[in-house]
Amino acid sequence: MIGVAVTGAGWKGLVSVGQGFSVRASKLQVGSQDVAGLQGRCEVVARDVVDALAGMAGSAGHPALASALTGAAGQGLVTFWAIGTAYQHVSDGLNASAETYSNAERAIAVKAGTIFRDLR
């Protein structure tokens, strides 16, 4: 398939280009918010984990164990930072993709309109 189709009954907004891609950009926009929600959930649980580990270190009464728990809390923060950053990347990526696809869709529509007007 060569070319694009941007409107049509039941598939408004679906862009399909040859062997490249197809997508409903508005769904990606909504998905971006859903993933941001997951990121928020992650931060809440991560905070609980770090609080628990740090609290354990303070209540252990055993120097080696307290040190190990403190280390685990530090490692947890690094890991949770990485996970949170990855969620953010997905959310941002979906948002940016939605915008890019929408811009492409609009540009294609304008271009196609110009072409067909020229044919009249």
Give contact residues for another protein (rule: CB under 8 A): 14, 20-25, 27-28, 30-31, 34-35, 38-39, 41-42, 45, 47-65, 67-90, 92-94, 97
Q: In the bound complex, what is the minimum distance in angstroms from residue 23's beta carbon to another protein? A: 4
Q: Based on CB atoms, which residue is closest to another protein, 97 or 112?
A: 97
Q: Based on CB atoms, which residue is closest to another protein, 52 or 110?
A: 52
Q: Based on CB atoms, which residue is closest to another protein, 47 or 113?
A: 47
Q: What interhelical angle do 25-59 and 63-119 show, nearest 10?
A: 170
Grouping H, G, I as helix, E, B as strand and the rest as coil, residue 12 is coil
Residue 6's beta-bridge partner residues? Answer: none
Q: In the bound complex, what is the minimum distance in angstroms from residue 119's beta carbon to another protein? A: 29
The radius of gyration computed from the CA coordinates of the chain, to the nearest angstrom, equals 24
* Gap between the Cα atoms of 51 and 73, Å rounded: 8
